Amino acid sequence: MMIEKLLSLTNPRVANILDAALSDREMTRDEAAILLEATGVELHALMAAADEARRQDCGEDVSYVVNRNINSTNICYVGCSFCGFARNKHDEDAYDHPVEAMVEKARGAIERGATEVCIQAGIHPNKDHRHYHEILEAIHSTFPDLHIHAFSPEELDWGHQKSGMPLKEYLLWLKDAGLGTIPGTAAEILDDTLRKRISPRKLMTERWLEIVRAAHGVGLRSSSTVMYGHLETVPQLAAHLETLRNLQKETGGFTEFVPLGFIHEKNLLYKELGARAGSSMLEDLRIISVGRLFFRPGIINVQTSWVKLGTKLAQMALLAGANDFGGTLMEESISRESGSQHGEYLSAEEIRMLIRDLGRVPVERNTTYQELRRFDEEPQLTPLQGGESDGKTVERAESAANPLRVLAS
């Protein structure tokens, strides 16, 4: 009823698009482009419609995963203009962790309750396909129950080129060594004109699609992502969404859609190439809401990234169509080193507190969105009520209320 009232106040063109999306008619790319510029009452209507669609698609559960990021090396030759993470091998803070250190990080993750490690890194010019295989073998043989979510399409492209194997064979070789799923990163915006401006040495659209299609084909599911808030136009953004939706219709391999706002502080894309200073809050909310409506019913999990948005805006995204809070991460550094100010770890307890704050039900999931634990009955936590044994919960909970505090401490 509330939505009907809101739609009656909304521009008729926008109201029709939202009404159709709630009636299960597939949204066109041009319609998505209109919504991606919604402001005022149209934006309110978009968010309300997406929230209703989320309720229909996923109910009141909000899922999250207990995971740890592990970056094996920050040495990278690719030179993406938006990256503040990559280092030259001669830089003082360049690192290249041995495989044994990766295993120890995985052990530490398990000790803190993780079900997944997410492994991504720079493209080290002296490594090849065997390096990726060694990492998988070492971690998987030590911790066979730990899910390994690893290697962006850029890393898979590099390893595949070095391997000389057919692509399918190469992916199966990694899967046999323990690869569980892959991140759908390195997508940025799947438009070659734009890709040649922001990261000319990175794989182009057709190769990204070839790799992800092949991965889905051998049973390696992936996330789907977009990086927005830099030089892209609204039509390019809408076309990107359509490219992802088309691939999902073909393979069904995407587990979720994760919009990733561009972090502008420490990179050339903003300083020298004229990108805008990251996304606005309106853009952040629009892409979540449009993602919810545009991908249904093919992708029903829409994830908000607290690392990019901060915890408060991530909560808002859960009211605008998102149903997943992402992961605890434990060692997030790619966004942080590009200038993100939102910390590198949130405990599962803090995540549940943020979800409960919205009157929703926290659910711990695994990487492929199977429910592991529900928290229907957990008592309401407040930022001043601890629960963890490491004595840092209060500090972290305060950080959740004020993400900048993470940086200050």
Q: Is 262 in the site for ligand SF4 (CB under 6 A)?
A: no
Interface residue with ligand SF4, options 80, 285, 300, 351 (CB under 6 A)? 80
Question: What spatial distance separates the first Cα and last Cα of the chain, rounded to whole Å?
Answer: 47
Token couple for 182: 């892959």
Q: Is 76 in the site for ligand SF4 (CB under 6 A)?
A: yes
Min CB(346)–ligand SF4 separation in Å: 23
Closest CB to ligand SF4 among 65 and 83? Answer: 83
For residues 250 and 283, is the Cβ–Cβ distance under 8 A?
A: no
Distances (CA, A) of 19 to 10, 13, 43, 214, 338: 11, 10, 14, 36, 39
Interface residue with ligand SF4, options 42, 45, 85, 306 (CB under 6 A)? 85
Size of the site for ligand SF4 (CB under 6 A): 11
Q: Is 86 in the site for ligand SF4 (CB under 6 A)?
A: yes
Under DSSP, the state recorded for 385 is -
Interface residue with ligand SF4, options 58, 123, 190, 354 (CB under 6 A)? 123
Determine the length of the chain.
409
Residues in contact with 292: Cβ distance below 8 Å, sequence separation at least 6, in sequence order? 50, 53, 54, 57, 302, 320, 321, 322
Under DSSP, the state recorded for 231 is S
The stretch among 45-53, 71-79, 379-387, 397-405 that binds ligand SF4 (CB under 6 A) is 71-79
Question: What are 371's strand-pairing partners?
Answer: 365
Residues 109 and 311: their CA atoms lie apart, in Å, by: 22
Closest CB to ligand SF4 among 80 and 244? Answer: 80
Closest CB to ligand SF4 among 94 and 358? Answer: 94
Q: Is 78 in the site for ligand SF4 (CB under 6 A)?
A: yes
Residues in contact with 216: Cβ distance below 8 Å, sequence separation at least 6, in sequence order? 222, 247, 251, 252, 253, 254
Task: List for the chain the helix, strand, coil content (%; round to 5).
Answer: 45, 15, 40
Q: Is 298 in the site for ligand SF4 (CB under 6 A)?
A: no
Residues 178-237 that bind ligand SF4 (CB under 6 A): 199
Residues in contact with 145: Cβ distance below 8 Å, sequence separation at least 6, in sequence order? none
Closest CB to ligand SF4 among 15 and 80? Answer: 80
Token couple for 116: 């997944």
Closest CB to ligand SF4 among 86 and 241? Answer: 86
Min CB(153)–ligand SF4 separation in Å: 10
Q: Is 260 in the site for ligand SF4 (CB under 6 A)?
A: no
Residues in contact with 289: Cβ distance below 8 Å, sequence separation at least 6, in sequence order? 35, 46, 47, 49, 50, 320, 321
The stretch among 23-31, 56-64, 80-88, 254-262 that binds ligand SF4 (CB under 6 A) is 80-88
Residues 138-167 that bind ligand SF4 (CB under 6 A): 154
Q: Is 173 in the site for ligand SF4 (CB under 6 A)?
A: no
Min CB(224)–ligand SF4 separation in Å: 17
Q: Which residues bind ligand SF4 (CB under 6 A)?
A: 76, 78-80, 83, 85-86, 122-123, 154, 199
